[in-house]
């Protein structure tokens, strides 16, 4: 009887897909997420597949320690912690779940936009502290007629933009390496250069992957293009934005507010530039933490099993001949 393939599962996944994975594969769980730990397990267990979430990384060292490796599966979207060139070089598929968090991340983005525009977190604290006259000294932003600038109009960015137009009557600008003529027509959206988007938008929201072209995309120079009343929202990846520059822009009244769901490093320390900053809404990489999104993410198991039975994956990020 043929033995089951072995899957290295870096973090737990939804029970439904956990049961499916265990039915068809032997599942190995590491004792930590460090590169040396993953490489050691990969070398000693004859790993056929790796399933990773946000902790740890699948580096060249891990890949080269796994001569039997066939697929690396990202339980999520971002793959900046997977060495895709090294995987491709060694004939290893890399897959993710691109549509699983579209709704959850879009809704969370709007929760953060509304918290900034309507000052809900500050108003809540004011009432709880007995400062009811907060209302006399603060004004919210009315969204109708304002301009939303979307950096990355893909699945999530497109949904965020559609809500802006359909629900709030906003104008829509976007910047992207891809042109979306159908979305432009449907949403009356206009593609513009990044600096134009920053200077013309009342709210800027980021929905682009982290790669060499987007790392540090928004720094002091870009922030200086934004209007003093405008808001910046980042629910993409922390390293896309220079958080210290955002903090400086806020303290010098060159930016109206900011909201971050992601940080660099992943877990911000107490000395992180935004922690003590006023006019900031923060959440702990929480945008996709819904039951529905996590179930969708765990569906990457289907691609793992597809590859382990000799088939092509449904959501490949590289091309294996």
Active site (catalytic) residues: 237, 266, 285
Ranges of the chain with pLDDT below 70: 1-2
- % of residues, the chain, pLDDT over 70: 99
**One domain, residues 83 and 151:** no
Residues 298 and 201 in one domain: no
Q: Which of 252, 200, 261 is nearest to 54 (CA)?
A: 261
Position 241 in a domain = yes
User: Rounded to whole angstroms, how far apart are CA atoms 172 and 19?
Assistant: 44
Nearest to 192 by CA among 235, 233, 151, 161: 151
Structural contact between residues 244 and 260, judged by C-beta atoms closer than 8 angstroms: no
The pLDDT value recorded for residue 1 is 43
Look at residue 303 and tell me if it is in a domain: yes
For position 321, what pLDDT does the model report? 80
Distances (CA, A) of 33 to 10, 56, 102, 232: 7, 5, 27, 32
Query: pTM of the entire structure?
Result: 0.91
pLDDT of residue 2: 55
Judge if 164 and 193 occupy the same domain.
Answer: yes
Within this chain, do residues 265 and 141 fall inside the same structural domain, yes or no?
yes
Contact 76, 53 (CB under 8 A): yes
Let me know whether 51 and 78 are in one domain.
yes
147 and 271 share one domain? yes
Average pLDDT of every residue of the chain: 96
In a domain, 55, yes or no: yes
Whether residues 123 and 242 share a domain: the answer is yes
List, for residues 27-41, the tens digit of each pLDDT value: 999 999 999 999 999
State percent of the chain over pLDDT 90: 95
On whether both 260 and 120 belong to a single domain, the answer is yes
Give the tens place of pLDDT for each residue, 268-298: 999 999 999 989 999 999 999 999 999 999 9
Same domain, 91 and 227: no
Question: What's the domain count of the chain?
Answer: 2
Q: Is residue 263 part of a domain?
A: yes
Domain assignment of residue 159, given as a range: 102-282
């Amino acid at each position: 009887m043929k033995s089951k393939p072995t899957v290295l599962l870096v973090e737990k996944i939804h029970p439904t897909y956990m049961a499916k994975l265990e039915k068809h594969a032997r599942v190995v769980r590491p004792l930590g997420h460090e590169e040396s730990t993953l490489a050691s397990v990969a070398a000693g267990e004859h790993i056929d597949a790796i399933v990773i979430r946000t902790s740890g990384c699948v580096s060249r060292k891990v890949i080269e320690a796994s001569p039997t490796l066939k697929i690396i599966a990202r339980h999520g979207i971002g793959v900046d912690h997977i060495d895709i060139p090294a995987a491709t070089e060694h004939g290893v598929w890399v897959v993710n779940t691109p549509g699983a968090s579209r709704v959850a991340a879009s809704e969370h983005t709007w929760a953060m936009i509304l918290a900034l525009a309507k000052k809900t977190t500050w108003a809540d604290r004011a009432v709880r502290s007995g400062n009811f006259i907060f209302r006399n000294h603060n004004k919210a932003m009315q969204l109708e007629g304002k301009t939303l600038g979307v950096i990355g109009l893909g699945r999530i960015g497109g949904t965020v933009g559609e809500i802006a137009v359909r629900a709030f009557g906003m104008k829509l600008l976007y910047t992207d390496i891809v042109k979306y003529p159908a979305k432009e027509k449907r949403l009356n959206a206009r593609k513009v250069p990044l600096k134009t988007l920053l200077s013309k938008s009342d709210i800027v929201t980021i929905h682009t992957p982290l790669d060499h072209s987007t790392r540090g995309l928004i720094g002091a120079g870009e922030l200086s293009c934004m209007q003093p009343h405008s808001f910046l929202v980042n629910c993409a990846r922390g390293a896309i934005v220079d958080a210290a520059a955002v903090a400086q822009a806020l303290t010098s009244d060159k930016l109206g507010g900011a909201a971050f769901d992601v940080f660099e490093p992943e877990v911000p320390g107490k000395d992180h530039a935004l922690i003590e900053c006023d006019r900031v809404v923060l959440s702990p990489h929480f945008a996709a933490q819904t039951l529905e999104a996590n179930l969708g993410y765990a569906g990457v198991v289907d691609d793992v099993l597809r590859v382990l039975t000799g088939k092509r994956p449904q959501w490949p990020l590289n091309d294996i001949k």
